[in-house]
Each structure stands twice: as structure tokens, then as C-alpha cells.
A and B are shown apart, each in its own frame.
Chain A
Amino acid sequence: MKIDPKTFIQDYLLNICIQCGTCTGGCPVKFRSPLNMRRLVRQTYITNDPSPLFKSPELWACTTCSNCSLRCPAGVKNVELIMAIRNLLANQGEVPSTIRDALENTFLQGNPWGRFRDRRADWAKELGVKILGEAASETLLYVGCAPSYDPRVQNVSTALVKIFQKADLDFGILGKKESCCGNEIRRMGEQALFKKLTKDNTNLFKKSGIKRIITISPHCYNTFKNEYPDLTIPVQHYTQVIADLMETGKLKLSKALDLRTTYQDPCFLGKQNLVFDEPRKILTFIPGLEFVEMERSRQRSLCCEGGGGRMWAEGGTEGTRNGEIRVKEAVALGAKVMATACPFCLLTLEDAVKISGLTSEIVIKDISELVAEAIDENPITKFQAPNNHQ
């Protein structure tokens, strides 16, 4: 099928590219795949039919971290270009099989892993959490797919429930009525399914009578905040909520965590939505915790490679994972804990710790887990700082 490049040039401003290469220079997968953003923009611009270009498998290596478009001095919409190409491929059915399964699963069960919809809120069963519809609340804790189903990330959901309950914050969850936010779905190219999810979710939120939404994942936060056209309910990431609870004295931490800790800025929270300070405020608020900053932090934070559908992609990249590089940077700082505030960062970095054989040096924790730990003497997680002398 021949594709007219004109729409791409107009929609993603390919004609204003000055070929400076800043995009490729900042790309977190440039050493991991043949993806070259500068070249892709140029080639799409000068060709009469970009369809052969769009067959390159490296188009699926992009993590949509958005370094390229955020740093572009001219304003080329690089990430939107990637998503548009993927949309074209998805509509032709030309997506890698694992991405195909993730999309089909979301269509059927409302989550990319294809886990049973009715089991979405099983993690919360014993926690005394309100289910909106059965009980009323003005605050929705939108859990998200990974925190609902992934056993590791469920620990984050449980920690947040404990924190909010401790701070007497009235909130509810949607239970099994909750569906995928669609952030990753849009980035895997399924625009029509994304639109359906935005419509269904917006209607569900409105019907539930909620006044604010708190998300666990920065990915959900990003799409609700920036990509839901009819959603007028304010959205917060949980780090913003906890930072506020601490500043207003509603959440007090009594237990000291004597841990040298650093922080990985998730791309969808940090560079894309500029939430840099709240996670740091929380960490420095924890008694005993010694916060150390990595050299590459905030806007310069290195992507963990979990975004853009990469959680469901197989292969397509080679060499050392960014997660491994990141974990080694943290260990070099003498950090015993690397904290983050994103389910995907948590999973990719934890994998990296295992792959690098650094399990006795460092642990990966979500900020919420550290806060829950510092609340009292009865920790919900069996937390143990790594001990080099084991």
C-alpha cells in the first residue's frame, strides 16, 4: 500500500527539522537498536512513499520516553510520528505478535496481560477499601493494570492503601469495573481502541461522581491529564498526594529508615509532566533516609525502557540494558536503595539488579513502599536492606 508522506510532514512538522541530531543524541535506545530518529524524520520527509521505511522492526524499539521531541530545538513531533506509524501498521495488522496479544487482551479483558477482568480488585479484598458504586467517595484511586495484577506491583497498591488509611484520606477504587487507561495502547499504535477506552473511562468516572483522580502509574497520570479530551476531573500522581499529606501534617512517619537512597525519575512523571520535586520531598521527609542524587537526574534521567509498549515487546534491542547501567550508577553512589514511582521502572530495574548480579548490593523500591515502611513498626512488606557481608 502506498502512503502519502504529506500528512506525516504536516502533522508532525517534519519540514522544520534542521537535522541537528539532538533527537538521536538523547535517544535512550540509540545504542540498543538501529533506530535513528534524525534519519527517520529526514527519510520520511524526502521520500514519495515511506511505506518501505515503516517496515523497519526498530520502530518498535522506541520507548516513547519523549527525550527527542522535548529536546528538539525546532519542535518536530518525533514521538507522535512514531505513534502515527505504529497506528498505520496496527490498522494493517502488521504488529509484532506479542504486541498483538497485548492489544487483543486489552480489547477483551481491559488489561494488556489478558488477566481475568473479574479479578482486577482481588488484591484489595482484605484491605477494607471502598468500591465506588457500592460506597461513595469523591476521590478515586485509579489503580491501573500492573498494580492490579502484577504480584510485585500489587505491593505498591497495598502500600498506598495503608498510607491513605493512615492519613485518613477518604478514597475508593472502581474494582472490577476499572479498565486500562490506554496510555500504552495509544503508544503501541491502536488509536481506535485508545479512543474507545477514553470514552468508556471518562463516562465511568463521570457516573461515579468523583471529584479527583489519583493514579499509581505515571503512565495513567499522563494520559488522563493530557490525552483525555473530555475529562475535566483533576488528576494527581500519588507522589503529589503524599507530598501534600506530609506538608500539611496529615501524614506522620515515626520509623527511621537508615538507608542511603537514590531516585530514578520515571519519564512519564518527570521529563514529560515535570513532577520532579514531590518524589524528592517525600524521600527527604522519611526519617533517617539519606537521599543522594544520581548525576543524570530530573530532565536528564535515563529511561528504564519500560514505556511505549516495550513491556510487551520481545527483543528488538541488544547490548546492555539501560536498567543495568542505571543500577550500576546507583551502586557506584553507594546507594542501598533505588527508589522510583512507576510500576514499569520498578519491574525493569528489579530485573536489571538480578541480571547484573547486584542483589546483595541494592534493592529497588517504590516510594510508596518506603513511606509505608516508615509509618510504623508493623511493616506490610518484609523489607530488608541489602547486606554486603552476607
Chain B
Amino acid sequence: MNIAVCVKRIPKTAEADIFIEKDGSDIKKDHLVFYLNDWDGYAVREAALLKEKHGGEVTVITVGPEEAKEVLTRCLAMGADRALRIEEPPTQDSYLIAKILSRAIKNQAFDLLLLGVQAEDDNCGQVGVSLAQMLGLPHAAIVNHIEIEGDKAKVRRELEGGIEELTELKLPAVLTIQTGINEPKYVSLAALLEAEDKEIKDLGMEELGLTLSESVDTKIDQVFFPPVGKMAEILKGNPEEVVTQLTEIIKKKKG
């Protein structure tokens, strides 16, 4: 079974100080560290687990700058066999990324395409399902369990309120992978250094029949911090007093 996993290199922002570029086009990134998108890590691990079970090859694909090769190296260390980096257009949106990926994947014999549900930076969650539409393949989003039976994938989808949907797709299919579907392994520095020797293929936009100035439908007007809302109420006093105040508030709100 041949699997392609589309991944993204993202800046880690959870603990970082965030500044906005002067022109308001984006956040400043030169002081940030970059990593493999969390969701994609689960997708790559899932592909490696499926490979262990069913054989075949895992190919990882990213659209990104030269530096994005470091996340591909990580994926190779995680068990991927082949890696492809596609040149990144200067302006892009989810639709264009899906279009680029669909061109790269179109004529290749993959049984399964895995993507993270969304990326940690923009959280759009659009590439996976757009890609399925463009390739004319069945898809399931927010998948947290996969079983392959013959030419079918039996999957569980996470819905709201702790409910799951069981569904069946005919292969080839596109699945967007939810965190927690597996337990990603630690990738040691030794394994990363070893994976650095593996080949990563580069592909230009022209080779996909596209140009670097493809039009995009979504344009970022301005990036800004969320406006500061009303101050939270901080209860003062010793633990006993705080608890008394808190229970009063809860009682009141309960009506």
C-alpha cells in the first residue's frame, strides 16, 4: 500500500513573544523556531504504522521554502521512504496549496493520502478536503482511527460532543488525521542525522504546469492582536475567602 502524507513546516508560537511586521502582513518569524506541524506528525506516524501492517511505501510532500527540508528529514527519520519538496509561491492560500499538491499527486499511484486536519499556524483546515475534491477522491475529515480491509478504509471520524462517525471509503481516498490517533515516537538526534543522508527531491512550480504568480482567492489585509476584552475578575483573599466568593458567584449565575 502506497501512502502519501502532505506536511507543513510551521513556527512554534505557543510560548513565544509575538510581534507583527511593520506592514501588518504577517507576524515576525525570525526569532521563532520551526517544527513539523503537530497534526502532520500524527499523520506521518499513522502512515508508518499502516506500512508496518500492509507493506508499501510512504512518500512525504511539502510545499515550502528550502528550510522546509528539515521537516521532511524528520519525516524520513519517522519512517517515510521518499520525500518531495515543492517550491513555495510568494503569495498563497489553502486553495492554491491544494492545487499545487493535486498536480504533484495526480498521476501517481497512491492508495491513501493523509494530511493533518489543520496547521498550527493558520488553522484553516482546508487543504485536505480541497485536495480530495480536486483529485475527485472520496475523503473523510478529522479521522481518529483507520482500518484497511481490501480496497476499503474503515475509519472513525471525530464529531462534536464526544460522538464518532463510523464510515467506509473506497481506496484511493484522502483522510485528514486528528491528533491522538496514535502515539508519535521520539525522533532521536541520531536518527535525524542518519536521515539527513536520504534524498529529498525538489520540484519547481513550472514542472507542475504552474507559475510562481498563480492568483489567490484569499488575501491577508492586516494581521493584528485580538482586542483586549473586559478584565477577568480576580478574587482576592485567603483560600477560604476565595472559595466563599466563588461559590456565591456560581450560585448567583445559576440563578
Instruction: Give the residues from 1 to 27 in chain B that come closer than 8 angstroms, CB to CB, to chain A.
Output: 12, 15-17
Min Cβ gap B35→A in Å is 6
Min Cβ gap B204→A in Å is 30
The listed residue (A109, A115, A119, A193) touching B188 by CB distance below 8 A is A193
Q: Is B31 an interface residue when CB atoms closer than 8 A count as contact?
A: yes
Interface contact B186-A117, CB-CB below 8 Å? no
Q: Is A100 an interface residue when CB atoms closer than 8 A count as contact?
A: yes
Instruction: Give the residues from 97 to 148 in chain A that come closer than 8 angstroms, CB to CB, to chain B.
Output: 97, 99-100, 103-104, 107-109, 114-119
Task: Tell me which residues across on chain B come within 8 A of A90, comparing CB atoms.
Answer: 186, 188
Min Cβ gap A121→B in Å is 13
**A99, B188: Cα distance in complex, Å:** 12
Q: Is A293 an interface residue when CB atoms closer than 8 A count as contact?
A: no
Asked if A193 meets B189 with Cβ closer than 8 Å, knowing A108-B33, A108-B35, A118-B31, the reply is yes
Interface contact B15-A116, CB-CB below 8 Å? yes
Q: Is A196 an interface residue when CB atoms closer than 8 A count as contact?
A: yes
A194, closest chain B residue (CB): B189
Asked if A93 meets B17 with Cβ closer than 8 Å, knowing A108-B12, A117-B33, A192-B193, the reply is no
Interface residue tally of chain B, by bracket?
10 to 19
Q: Is B197 an interface residue when CB atoms closer than 8 A count as contact?
A: no
Interface contact A91-B188, CB-CB below 8 Å? yes
Min Cβ gap B228→A in Å is 21
The listed residue (A97, A100, A104, A116) touching B17 by CB distance below 8 A is A116
Instruction: Give the residues from 59 to 83 in chain B that come closer than 8 angstroms, CB to CB, to chain A.
Output: none
**A196, B192: Cα distance in complex, Å:** 13
Interface contact A97-B12, CB-CB below 8 Å? no
A114, closest chain B residue (CB): B15
B184, closest chain A residue (CB): A100
Q: Is A190 an interface residue when CB atoms closer than 8 A count as contact?
A: yes
Instruction: Give the residues from 162 to 207 in chain B that come closer than 8 angstroms, CB to CB, to chain A.
Output: 183-191, 193
Q: Is A95 an interface residue when CB atoms closer than 8 A count as contact?
A: yes
Task: Tell me which residues across on chain A come within 8 A of B16, comparing CB atoms.
Answer: 116, 118
Task: Tell me which residues across on chain B come within 8 A of A117, comparing CB atoms.
Answer: 33
Task: Tell me which residues across on chain B come within 8 A of A116, comparing CB atoms.
Answer: 15-17
A197, closest chain B residue (CB): B189
Interface residue tally of chain A, by bracket?
20 to 34
Interface contact A93-B193, CB-CB below 8 Å? no
Interface contact B189-A107, CB-CB below 8 Å? yes
Min Cβ gap A366→B in Å is 25
A101, closest chain B residue (CB): B186
Q: Is A94 an interface residue when CB atoms closer than 8 A count as contact?
A: yes
Min Cβ gap B192→A in Å is 8
**A156, B188: Cα distance in complex, Å:** 33
B interface footprint on A349-385 (CB within 8 Å = 1, 0 otherwise): 0000000000000000000000000000000000000
Task: Tell me which residues across on chain A come within 8 A of B17, comparing CB atoms.
Answer: 116, 118-119
Min Cβ gap A233→B in Å is 25
**A117, B16: Cα distance in complex, Å:** 8
**A95, B185: Cα distance in complex, Å:** 8
**A162, B187: Cα distance in complex, Å:** 41
Instruction: Give the residues from 164 to 208 in chain A that come closer than 8 angstroms, CB to CB, to chain B.
Output: 190-193, 196
**A190, B189: Cα distance in complex, Å:** 8
Task: Tell me which residues across on chain B come within 8 A of A95, comparing CB atoms.
Answer: 186
**A325, B191: Cα distance in complex, Å:** 41
Min Cβ gap B155→A in Å is 24
Interface contact B185-A192, CB-CB below 8 Å? no
Task: Tell me which residues across on chain A come within 8 A of B193, comparing CB atoms.
Answer: 192
Interface contact B188-A192, CB-CB below 8 Å? yes
**A115, B16: Cα distance in complex, Å:** 8
Task: Tell me which residues across on chain B come within 8 A of A104, comparing CB atoms.
Answer: 186-187
Asked if A91 meets B15 with Cβ closer than 8 Å, knowing A97-B183, A108-B35, the reply is no
For this complex, 30 residue pairs linking A to B, each with C-beta atoms less than 8 Å apart, are: A91-B188, A91-B190, A93-B185, A93-B186, A93-B188, A93-B191, A94-B185, A94-B186, A95-B186, A97-B183, A99-B186, A100-B184, A103-B188, A108-B12, A108-B33, A109-B12, A114-B15, A115-B15, A116-B17, A117-B33, A118-B17, A119-B15, A119-B17, A190-B188, A190-B189, A191-B190, A192-B189, A192-B190, A192-B193, A193-B189
12 additional contacts (CB under 8 A) given A104-B187, A190-B188, A192-B193: A93-B185, A94-B186, A100-B185, A103-B186, A107-B189, A109-B33, A116-B15, A117-B33, A118-B16, A118-B17, A118-B31, A192-B188
> Interface residues, chain A, CB within 8 Å of chain B?
90-95, 97, 99-100, 103-104, 107-109, 114-119, 190-193, 196
